[in-house]
Protein backbone atom coordinates (compact mmCIF):
# COMPACT_ATOMS: atom_id res chain seq x y z
CA UNK A 1 0.00 0.00 0.00
CA UNK A 2 1.39 3.42 -0.96
CA UNK A 3 2.50 5.83 1.72
CA UNK A 4 -0.04 8.44 0.60
CA UNK A 5 -2.89 5.99 0.78
CA UNK A 6 -1.69 4.77 4.16
CA UNK A 7 -1.48 8.30 5.48
CA UNK A 8 -4.96 8.97 4.15
CA UNK A 9 -6.26 5.88 5.86
CA UNK A 10 -4.40 6.83 8.99
CA UNK A 11 -6.13 10.20 8.91
CA UNK A 12 -9.52 8.57 8.54
CA UNK A 13 -8.69 6.09 11.25
CA UNK A 14 -7.61 8.79 13.65
CA UNK A 15 -10.65 10.92 12.78
CA UNK A 16 -12.92 7.94 13.31
CA UNK A 17 -11.26 7.16 16.60
CA UNK A 18 -11.70 10.76 17.71
CA UNK A 19 -15.33 10.63 16.68
CA UNK A 20 -15.54 7.49 18.75
CA UNK A 21 -13.82 9.24 21.63
CA UNK A 22 -17.26 9.95 23.05
CA UNK A 23 -17.45 6.15 22.98
CA UNK A 24 -20.21 6.21 25.58
CA UNK A 25 -17.43 5.66 28.12
CA UNK A 26 -17.13 2.17 26.72
CA UNK A 27 -14.86 -0.44 28.08
CA UNK A 28 -11.22 -0.42 27.14
CA UNK A 29 -10.19 -4.03 26.98
CA UNK A 30 -6.53 -4.01 28.00
CA UNK A 31 -4.51 -5.73 30.71
CA UNK A 32 -4.13 -3.73 33.92
CA UNK A 33 -1.04 -3.38 36.10
CA UNK A 34 -1.18 -5.96 38.86
CA UNK A 35 -4.03 -7.82 37.19
CA UNK A 36 -4.32 -11.28 38.73
CA UNK A 37 -7.21 -12.83 36.90
CA UNK A 38 -8.31 -13.31 33.32
CA UNK A 39 -9.52 -10.38 31.23
CA UNK A 40 -12.91 -8.99 32.09
CA UNK A 41 -15.34 -10.80 29.79
CA UNK A 42 -16.94 -8.91 26.91
CA UNK A 43 -18.56 -11.89 25.20
CA UNK A 44 -20.64 -14.90 26.29
CA UNK A 45 -17.70 -17.15 25.35
CA UNK A 46 -15.34 -15.32 27.69
CA UNK A 47 -17.97 -15.31 30.45
CA UNK A 48 -18.16 -19.09 30.20
CA UNK A 49 -14.38 -19.43 30.02
CA UNK A 50 -14.01 -17.43 33.21
CA UNK A 51 -16.76 -19.46 34.92
CA UNK A 52 -15.07 -22.74 33.92
CA UNK A 53 -11.70 -21.44 35.03
CA UNK A 54 -13.11 -20.37 38.40
CA UNK A 55 -14.91 -23.69 38.83
CA UNK A 56 -11.71 -25.62 38.07
CA UNK A 57 -9.81 -23.50 40.53
CA UNK A 58 -12.25 -24.54 43.28
CA UNK A 59 -11.93 -28.22 42.34
CA UNK A 60 -8.12 -28.00 42.27
CA UNK A 61 -8.09 -26.21 45.62
CA UNK A 62 -10.29 -28.82 47.32
CA UNK A 63 -8.20 -31.70 45.89
CA UNK A 64 -4.92 -30.06 46.90
CA UNK A 65 -6.12 -29.42 50.45
CA UNK A 66 -7.50 -32.98 50.70
CA UNK A 67 -4.15 -34.49 49.58
CA UNK A 68 -2.27 -32.17 51.93
CA UNK A 69 -4.49 -33.25 54.85
CA UNK A 70 -3.92 -36.93 54.01
CA UNK A 71 -0.15 -36.40 53.89
CA UNK A 72 -0.10 -34.59 57.22
CA UNK A 73 -2.25 -37.35 58.75
CA UNK A 74 0.10 -40.07 57.44
CA UNK A 75 3.22 -38.19 58.51
CA UNK A 76 1.92 -37.75 62.06
CA UNK A 77 0.15 -41.06 62.58
CA UNK A 78 2.79 -43.29 61.01
CA UNK A 79 5.90 -41.42 62.14
CA UNK A 80 8.87 -43.66 63.02
CA UNK A 81 9.00 -42.67 66.69
CA UNK A 82 5.38 -43.80 67.28
CA UNK A 83 5.74 -46.93 65.14
CA UNK A 84 8.89 -48.83 66.09
CA UNK A 85 7.57 -51.78 64.07
CA UNK A 86 6.48 -50.50 60.62
CA UNK A 87 3.15 -51.60 59.20
CA UNK A 88 3.45 -54.44 56.68
CA UNK A 89 0.29 -53.44 54.78
CA UNK A 90 0.71 -53.66 50.98
CA UNK A 91 -2.85 -53.77 49.60
CA UNK A 92 -6.26 -52.39 50.30
CA UNK A 93 -8.60 -53.31 47.47
CA UNK A 94 -11.45 -51.01 48.43
CA UNK A 95 -9.09 -48.06 48.77
CA UNK A 96 -7.45 -48.75 45.42
CA UNK A 97 -10.82 -48.98 43.67
CA UNK A 98 -11.89 -45.75 45.37
CA UNK A 99 -8.82 -43.75 44.35
CA UNK A 100 -9.22 -44.96 40.77
CA UNK A 101 -12.96 -44.49 40.41
CA UNK A 102 -13.28 -41.19 42.24
CA UNK A 103 -10.80 -39.32 39.99
CA UNK A 104 -12.55 -40.79 36.95
CA UNK A 105 -15.82 -39.23 38.10
CA UNK A 106 -14.07 -35.93 38.81
CA UNK A 107 -12.45 -35.93 35.34
CA UNK A 108 -15.76 -36.76 33.66
CA UNK A 109 -17.36 -33.97 35.67
CA UNK A 110 -14.72 -31.59 34.32
CA UNK A 111 -14.76 -32.94 30.76
CA UNK A 112 -18.48 -32.50 30.16
CA UNK A 113 -18.67 -28.70 30.68
CA UNK A 114 -15.24 -28.35 29.07
CA UNK A 115 -16.30 -30.06 25.82
CA UNK A 116 -19.61 -28.23 25.79
CA UNK A 117 -17.71 -24.95 25.97
CA UNK A 118 -15.23 -26.05 23.26
CA UNK A 119 -18.12 -26.70 20.88
CA UNK A 120 -19.83 -23.45 21.89
CA UNK A 121 -16.61 -21.54 21.12
CA UNK A 122 -16.05 -23.32 17.84
CA UNK A 123 -18.46 -21.52 15.57
CA UNK A 124 -21.75 -19.72 15.40
CA UNK A 125 -24.57 -21.01 13.27
CA UNK A 126 -26.41 -17.71 13.36
CA UNK A 127 -23.86 -15.18 12.20
CA UNK A 128 -25.13 -11.61 11.89
CA UNK A 129 -22.07 -10.71 9.84
CA UNK A 130 -18.80 -12.16 8.65
CA UNK A 131 -15.36 -10.63 8.88
CA UNK A 132 -12.34 -12.17 7.25
CA UNK A 133 -9.06 -11.57 9.03
CA UNK A 134 -6.00 -12.04 6.86
CA UNK A 135 -2.68 -12.04 8.67
CA UNK A 136 0.54 -10.76 7.16
CA UNK A 137 4.05 -10.09 8.39
CA UNK A 138 3.29 -7.81 10.28
CA UNK A 139 -0.20 -6.41 10.04
CA UNK A 140 -3.79 -7.53 9.61
CA UNK A 141 -6.24 -7.06 6.77
CA UNK A 142 -9.93 -6.96 7.62
CA UNK A 143 -12.46 -7.81 4.92
CA UNK A 144 -16.17 -7.21 5.36
CA UNK A 145 -17.70 -9.58 2.86
CA UNK A 146 -21.21 -8.40 3.74
CA UNK A 147 -20.32 -4.82 2.77
CA UNK A 148 -19.79 -4.00 -0.88
CA UNK A 149 -18.85 -0.65 -2.35
CA UNK A 150 -20.68 0.95 -5.27
CA UNK A 151 -18.16 -0.82 -7.50
CA UNK A 152 -19.12 -4.12 -5.89
CA UNK A 153 -15.80 -4.44 -4.15
CA UNK A 154 -15.51 -5.95 -0.72
CA UNK A 155 -14.88 -3.30 1.94
CA UNK A 156 -11.46 -4.09 3.27
CA UNK A 157 -8.55 -2.31 4.86
CA UNK A 158 -5.20 -2.93 6.49
CA UNK A 159 -4.60 -2.43 10.18
CA UNK A 160 -1.12 -1.40 11.28
CA UNK A 161 0.18 -0.56 14.71
CA UNK A 162 0.44 3.22 15.13
CA UNK A 163 4.03 4.36 14.82
CA UNK A 164 5.28 6.17 17.90
CA UNK A 165 5.27 9.55 16.15
CA UNK A 166 1.68 9.14 15.00
CA UNK A 167 0.60 7.90 18.40
CA UNK A 168 2.25 10.91 20.08
CA UNK A 169 0.02 13.19 17.99
CA UNK A 170 -3.20 11.68 19.38
CA UNK A 171 -5.22 13.84 21.78
CA UNK A 172 -4.59 12.88 25.41
CA UNK A 173 -8.12 11.53 25.80
CA UNK A 174 -7.45 9.14 22.94
CA UNK A 175 -4.14 8.05 24.38
CA UNK A 176 -5.97 6.62 27.37
CA UNK A 177 -8.22 4.45 25.25
CA UNK A 178 -5.59 3.73 22.61
CA UNK A 179 -2.42 2.72 24.43
CA UNK A 180 0.95 2.82 22.74
CA UNK A 181 1.87 -0.54 21.18
CA UNK A 182 -1.78 -1.54 21.05
CA UNK A 183 -3.29 1.38 19.13
CA UNK A 184 -3.70 0.78 15.41
CA UNK A 185 -4.42 3.06 12.48
CA UNK A 186 -7.58 1.25 11.38
CA UNK A 187 -9.54 -0.69 13.96
CA UNK A 188 -11.86 -3.54 13.21
CA UNK A 189 -15.31 -2.04 13.75
CA UNK A 190 -18.22 -4.27 14.69
CA UNK A 191 -21.72 -3.75 16.08
CA UNK A 192 -22.56 -4.69 19.64
CA UNK A 193 -24.75 -7.73 20.42
CA UNK A 194 -24.15 -9.27 17.02
CA UNK A 195 -22.77 -12.70 16.27
CA UNK A 196 -19.66 -11.99 14.23
CA UNK A 197 -18.27 -14.92 12.31
CA UNK A 198 -14.51 -14.54 11.97
CA UNK A 199 -12.63 -16.33 9.20
CA UNK A 200 -8.90 -16.31 9.82
CA UNK A 201 -6.26 -16.86 7.14
CA UNK A 202 -2.66 -15.95 6.46
CA UNK A 203 -0.62 -15.02 3.42
CA UNK A 204 2.87 -15.83 4.70
CA UNK A 205 3.61 -17.56 7.99
CA UNK A 206 1.52 -18.65 10.96
CA UNK A 207 -0.02 -15.92 13.08
CA UNK A 208 -2.82 -16.01 15.63
CA UNK A 209 -5.69 -13.57 16.00
CA UNK A 210 -6.37 -13.24 19.70
CA UNK A 211 -8.56 -10.90 21.74
CA UNK A 212 -8.51 -11.94 25.43
CA UNK A 213 -11.68 -10.10 26.49
CA UNK A 214 -13.57 -11.98 23.76
CA UNK A 215 -12.07 -15.35 24.67
CA UNK A 216 -10.94 -15.63 21.06
CA UNK A 217 -7.64 -17.01 19.83
CA UNK A 218 -7.58 -18.48 16.36
CA UNK A 219 -4.47 -19.49 14.46
CA UNK A 220 -3.96 -17.96 11.03
CA UNK A 221 -2.46 -20.62 8.82
CA UNK A 222 -1.46 -20.28 5.21
CA UNK A 223 -3.53 -22.44 2.88
CA UNK A 224 -6.53 -22.83 5.10
CA UNK A 225 -9.30 -20.79 6.65
CA UNK A 226 -10.03 -21.18 10.33
CA UNK A 227 -13.29 -20.09 11.83
CA UNK A 228 -14.26 -18.64 15.15
CA UNK A 229 -16.83 -16.13 16.37
CA UNK A 230 -17.63 -13.59 19.01
CA UNK A 231 -20.60 -11.58 20.20
CA UNK A 232 -19.44 -8.48 21.99
CA UNK A 233 -21.93 -7.49 24.66
CA UNK A 234 -20.18 -4.26 25.65
CA UNK A 235 -19.31 -1.21 23.61
CA UNK A 236 -15.71 -0.12 23.71
CA UNK A 237 -12.31 -0.92 22.31
CA UNK A 238 -10.82 -4.32 22.91
CA UNK A 239 -7.20 -5.12 22.30
CA UNK A 240 -5.26 -8.23 21.51
CA UNK A 241 -1.99 -9.23 19.95
CA UNK A 242 -0.72 -11.73 17.47
CA UNK A 243 -0.27 -14.86 19.56
CA UNK A 244 1.81 -17.06 17.32
CA UNK A 245 5.41 -16.02 16.97
CA UNK A 246 5.76 -14.95 13.36
CA UNK A 247 9.02 -13.09 12.88
CA UNK A 248 10.87 -10.00 13.98
CA UNK A 249 7.85 -7.71 14.25
CA UNK A 250 5.58 -10.25 15.90
CA UNK A 251 5.26 -7.95 18.91
CA UNK A 252 4.16 -5.05 16.71
CA UNK A 253 1.00 -6.28 15.05
CA UNK A 254 -1.65 -5.58 17.69
CA UNK A 255 -5.36 -6.16 17.23
CA UNK A 256 -7.93 -3.49 18.03
CA UNK A 257 -11.65 -4.14 17.85
CA UNK A 258 -14.02 -1.22 18.26
CA UNK A 259 -17.49 -2.33 19.33
CA UNK A 260 -20.11 0.30 18.57
CA UNK A 261 -23.89 0.54 18.71
CA UNK A 262 -25.78 -0.88 15.76
CA UNK A 263 -26.79 2.61 14.65
CA UNK A 264 -23.18 3.77 14.83
CA UNK A 265 -22.09 0.75 12.84
CA UNK A 266 -24.67 1.50 10.14
CA UNK A 267 -23.24 5.00 9.83
CA UNK A 268 -19.70 3.68 9.70
CA UNK A 269 -20.45 1.03 7.11
CA UNK A 270 -22.38 3.48 4.93
CA UNK A 271 -19.35 5.77 4.97
CA UNK A 272 -16.99 2.92 4.16
CA UNK A 273 -19.15 1.77 1.27
CA UNK A 274 -19.06 5.16 -0.40
CA UNK A 275 -15.95 6.94 0.82
CA UNK A 276 -13.13 4.53 0.78
CA UNK A 277 -11.20 1.68 2.27
CA UNK A 278 -12.45 -0.14 -0.79
CA UNK A 279 -9.78 -2.47 -1.97
CA UNK A 280 -9.74 -4.95 -4.79
CA UNK A 281 -10.64 -8.52 -3.98
CA UNK A 282 -7.88 -10.27 -2.07
CA UNK A 283 -5.06 -11.50 -4.24
CA UNK A 284 -4.92 -14.87 -2.58
CA UNK A 285 -7.37 -17.67 -3.04
CA UNK A 286 -8.70 -18.86 0.29
CA UNK A 287 -10.11 -22.34 0.39
CA UNK A 288 -13.73 -22.57 1.42
CA UNK A 289 -14.42 -23.55 4.99
CA UNK A 290 -14.71 -27.30 5.12
CA UNK A 291 -18.23 -28.45 6.00
CA UNK A 292 -18.53 -30.34 9.21
CU1 LIG B 1 2.77 -12.87 15.08
User: Coil, helix or strand for 169?
Assistant: coil
Exposure letters 176-214 (e unless 16+ CB within 10 A, then b)? ebbbeebbbbbbbbbbbeebbbbbbbbbebebbbbbbbb
pTM of the predicted protein model? 0.79
- Distance (Å) from CA 246 to ligand 1 centroid: 4
Ligand 1: distance of its center to the CA of 252 in Å? Answer: 8
CA–centroid distance, residue 28 to ligand 1 (Å): 22
Residue 212: helix, strand or coil by DSSP? Answer: helix
**Residues belonging to the chain:** 292
Q: What distance in angstroms lies between residue 244's CA and the mean position of ligand 1's atoms?
A: 5
How confident is the prediction along the chain (292 residues), in pLDDT tens digits per residue? 444 444 444 444 444 444 444 444 577 888 888 888 899 999 999 999 999 999 999 999 999 999 999 999 999 999 999 999 988 888 999 999 999 999 999 999 999 999 999 999 998 888 999 999 999 999 999 999 988 887 888 888 999 999 999 999 988 878 888 889 999 989 999 999 999 999 999 999 999 999 999 999 999 999 999 999 999 999 989 999 999 999 999 999 999 999 999 998 988 888 887 765 544 333 323 233 333 3
Contact 287, 268 (CB under 8 A): no
CA of 186 to the centre of ligand 1 (A): 18
Q: How far apart are the C-alpha atoms of 87 and 90, rounded to whole Å?
A: 9
70 Cβ contact list (under 8 Å, min separation 6): none
Cross-strand pairs, 230: 196
- Ligand 1: centre distance to CA 126 (Å): 30
Q: 156 near 141, Cβ under 8 Å?
A: yes
Ligand 1 center from residue 221 Cα (angstroms) = 11
Amino acid sequence: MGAAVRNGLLGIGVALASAGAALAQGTVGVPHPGQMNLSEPATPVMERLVALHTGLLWIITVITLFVLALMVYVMVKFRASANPVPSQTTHHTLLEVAWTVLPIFILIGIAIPSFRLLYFMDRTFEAGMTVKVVAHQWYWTYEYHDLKTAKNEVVSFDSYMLKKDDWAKLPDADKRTRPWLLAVDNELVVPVDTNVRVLVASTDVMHSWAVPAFGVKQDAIIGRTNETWFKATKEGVFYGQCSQICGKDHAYMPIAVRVVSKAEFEKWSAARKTAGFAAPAPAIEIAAVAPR
